[in-house]
A and B are shown apart, each in its own frame.
Chain A
Amino acid sequence: MRALTWHGRHDVRVDTVDDPEILNPRDAIIKVTSTAICGSDLHLYDGYIPTMQAGDILGHEFMGEVVETGPGSTLKKGQRVVVPFTIACGSCYHCGKHQYSACDNGNPADNQDIGQELYGQPMSGLFGYSHLTGGYAGGQAEYVRVPFSDVGPIVVPDGLSDDEVLFLSDILPTGWQAAENADIEPGDTVAVWGCGPVGLFAVQSAFLMGAARVIAIDHFPRRLELARKFGAETINFEESKTYEALMEMTGGIGPDAVIDAVGLEAHGFFVDNVVDQIKKSLFLGTDRTHSIRQAIVACRKGGRVSMPAVYGGIVDKFPLGAFMEKGLTLKTGQTSVQHYMPALLNAIVEGKIDTTFLISHRMALEDAPKGYKMFHDNQNDVTKIVLKPDFAVAAD
């Protein structure tokens, strides 16, 4: 089959690799019909995530048709399914509590060593996201082996297009969980850093959960425009001072809840950011963290901090004093996708959540390397790229 493989920093290629096979009873093989490039994939592309190996197949946002099932799978050939990016067993203690991203068994035993050393306890497996999270082959491919297919994939009702449901695999549940983690109370003002897919879904979710106002922060006018369409007020951090603007826009109080949907590649020429970049190039630290610092400082006293954004390592200059003195609460984590999928599928069917607005480009899987470069170089115009294995390759 054809698959998008990682070979190093800014080097991804479409290669021919072996087709996947059923290896465990609960496996299914999915023929991919749509798969997206995620902001998280750019962290891999930029070489920020350790434990990548040449030839790793990327992609964790995908859906398709069931073409083969193991004896323990509950799926049927021909069904259309969306696959959650978290690989969870459904039978461990954490899965029992619906903390699917903390599944004990989704990550192969040997790979769990890395997570155990780095984080104290290993997390679940993820598709196409380094060997830290299992080393599983991802979904930017023609076919994928999906473990625990009896608990992960959700069957899509007829009449819904791929574009409408694809984002159930990651970013829609991630935006929703981000808003849920902000413990929004009716009448709240919520500030969201980052108007990428996660931030934009967090904006929609925050309003559905009763926020009176949402203030969205980014520097790409096109992305800010999308946030405004959903009713958010905006701050362009290149035109205005973010902290000062937030204080003035909230009557000097600060937002009740803040959401960091930027992550470890925060842009901008801020002093602390530049220090982080220098350290990164000297291998002294990996995580650039401007957005979470700013969010904590801007948040009102006693407020809530939600951090869907991905951080991998150790950071310094974390404003622990502000966090403690103001009595803030922080909630974070990889999304427990399986927990949110059924309700969010319903919300899509009922027209409560708009998903297709996000897609700016559709391309052939063969064009994926071009897609990565475009997404990396032009985030203003590129909001989401969906790859289709059966699309015709674009002429140059």
Chain B
Amino acid sequence: MTMVTDDAPATTAKTAEGREAGLAVHDDKHGDQLIGRTVTINRPRAELFAYWRDFANLPRFMDNVERIDTLSSKRTHWVVKAPGGKTVEWDATIIEERDGEYIAWASEVGADVPNSGSIEFKDAGDRGTIVTATIVYDPPAGVIGKVIAKLFQREPAIQARRDLRRFKQLMETGEVATAAWTRKQLEEEKG
């Protein structure tokens, strides 16, 4: 086995060894695809954590998530857009949480699209908070494969990047930027 000899995040690895090392730290892994994105948000850590911890807020910036219902303090029900006006749904559980710092969740047994994710918040001094999102998923074949393609729009990494940018916009400016100039255009944009 080749050693990992640098300090760069595993999500930027060029080698299979590097990617595996990244997956290994996710004990409750739900697949073999690992993506991660980091963004700096000019708001206090506690405020960002609190907003994210209320999962019902997430559809405001996650384009493909239609709705997230809160089932209990640890469990949520996700409704996600799929092709042909359909949706896919699953339940997820928070598997680890450190107040103000870290939340990890994973889909429960029987989910159409097994997936897990985590979000980490670190202080960045006068720049606000460094936010890192990590998603591990198992891209299935066939029909469900198409669902996941739609779910993550082309490439999961790009979708994560876009969702995080919208999260940043919402937190920093109170709104999500749009170039639309009519309500109709805005609705079409949101699909």
Chain A residues at the B interface, C-beta cutoff of 8 Å = 18-21, 23-26, 72, 89-93, 96, 104-113, 116, 125, 134-137, 144-145, 147-148
A125 and B179 contacting across the interface, CB-CB below 8 Å:
yes
Q: Which of A92, A110, A113 contacts B172 (CB 8 A)?
A: A92
A104 and B172 contacting across the interface, CB-CB below 8 Å:
yes
Q: Which of B127, B165, B176, B179 contacts A93 (CB 8 A)?
A: B127
Given contacts A105-B168, A109-B166, A135-B179, contact A96 B174 (CB under 8 A): no
| CB nearest to B180 among chain A residues | A23
Chain B residues in 8 Å Cβ range of A112: 162, 165
Chain A residues in 8 Å Cβ range of B128: 93
Q: In this assembly, does B175 line the interface, its C-beta being within 8 Å of a C-beta of chain A? A: yes
5 A-B pairs besides A93-B127, A109-B162 with CB distance below 8 A are A24-B177, A90-B173, A109-B169, A113-B158, A148-B173
B177 and A108 contacting across the interface, CB-CB below 8 Å:
yes
Given contacts A91-B42, A93-B127, A109-B162, contact A23 B178 (CB under 8 A): yes
| CB nearest to B163 among chain A residues | A109
Interface residues of B in 76-121 (CB under 8 A from A): none
| CB nearest to A90 among chain B residues | B173
B9-17, B24-32, B131-139, B181-189: which lies at the interface:
B181-189
A137 and B40 contacting across the interface, CB-CB below 8 Å:
no
Chain A residues in 8 Å Cβ range of B172: 89, 91-92, 104-105
Chain B residues in 8 Å Cβ range of A116: 161
B174 and A107 contacting across the interface, CB-CB below 8 Å:
no
Given contacts A105-B169, A135-B179, contact A92 B42 (CB under 8 A): yes
The distance from the CB of B163 to the nearest CB of chain A, in whole angstroms, is 8
Given contacts A89-B172, A105-B168, contact A21 B182 (CB under 8 A): yes
Chain A residues in 8 Å Cβ range of B179: 108, 111, 125, 134-137
How many B residues are at the interface, by size bracket?
20 to 34
Chain B residues at the A interface, C-beta cutoff of 8 Å = 40, 42, 127-128, 158, 161-163, 165-166, 168-169, 172-184, 186
Bound together, the chains give a CA A111 to CA B176 distance in angstroms of 13
Bound together, the chains give a CA A96 to CA B43 distance in angstroms of 13
CB-CB nearest 7 A-B residue pairs? A109-B165, A20-B181, A24-B175, A135-B179, A89-B173, A109-B162, A136-B179
The distance from the CB of B171 to the nearest CB of chain A, in whole angstroms, is 9
Chain B residues in 8 Å Cβ range of A18: 181-182, 184
A23 and B42 contacting across the interface, CB-CB below 8 Å:
no
| CB nearest to A104 among chain B residues | B168
Bound together, the chains give a CA A189 to CA B53 distance in angstroms of 60
A24 and B178 contacting across the interface, CB-CB below 8 Å:
yes
B177 and A147 contacting across the interface, CB-CB below 8 Å:
yes
A20 and B177 contacting across the interface, CB-CB below 8 Å:
no
Chain A residues in 8 Å Cβ range of B182: 18-21
B183 and A105 contacting across the interface, CB-CB below 8 Å:
no
Bound together, the chains give a CA A26 to CA B177 distance in angstroms of 10
A106 and B177 contacting across the interface, CB-CB below 8 Å:
yes
Given contacts A18-B182, A93-B128, contact A109 B173 (CB under 8 A): no
| CB nearest to A111 among chain B residues | B179
Chain B residues in 8 Å Cβ range of A92: 42, 168, 172-173
Chain B residues in 8 Å Cβ range of A19: 182
Given contacts A20-B182, A23-B183, contact A91 B177 (CB under 8 A): no
Contact sample, A vs B, 12 pairs, CB 8 Å cutoff: A23-B183, A24-B176, A26-B175, A92-B168, A93-B127, A105-B172, A106-B177, A108-B179, A109-B162, A125-B177, A134-B177, A147-B178
| CB nearest to B124 among chain A residues | A93
A25 and B175 contacting across the interface, CB-CB below 8 Å:
yes
Bound together, the chains give a CA A136 to CA B185 distance in angstroms of 12
Chain A residues in 8 Å Cβ range of B169: 89, 105, 109
Chain B residues in 8 Å Cβ range of A113: 158, 161-162
A107 and B177 contacting across the interface, CB-CB below 8 Å:
yes
Chain A residues in 8 Å Cβ range of B181: 18, 20-21, 23, 137, 144-145
The distance from the CB of A331 to the nearest CB of chain B, in whole angstroms, is 23
The distance from the CB of A17 to the nearest CB of chain B, in whole angstroms, is 9
Bound together, the chains give a CA A378 to CA B79 distance in angstroms of 59
Bound together, the chains give a CA A392 to CA B147 distance in angstroms of 56
A26 and B173 contacting across the interface, CB-CB below 8 Å:
yes
Chain A residues in 8 Å Cβ range of B158: 113
Q: Which of A20, A72, A93, A137 contacts B174 (CB 8 A)?
A: A72
Bound together, the chains give a CA A91 to CA B172 distance in angstroms of 6
Chain B residues in 8 Å Cβ range of A144: 181
Bound together, the chains give a CA A159 to CA B165 distance in angstroms of 43
Bound together, the chains give a CA A87 to CA B175 distance in angstroms of 14
B42 and A108 contacting across the interface, CB-CB below 8 Å:
no
Bound together, the chains give a CA A134 to CA B181 distance in angstroms of 12
Chain B residues in 8 Å Cβ range of A147: 177-178
Chain B residues in 8 Å Cβ range of A91: 42, 172-173
The distance from the CB of B68 to the nearest CB of chain A, in whole angstroms, is 19
| CB nearest to A107 among chain B residues | B177
Bound together, the chains give a CA A152 to CA B178 distance in angstroms of 16
Given contacts A93-B127, A93-B128, contact A109 B42 (CB under 8 A): no
Chain A residues in 8 Å Cβ range of B180: 23
Chain A residues in 8 Å Cβ range of B177: 24, 89, 105-109, 125, 134, 147
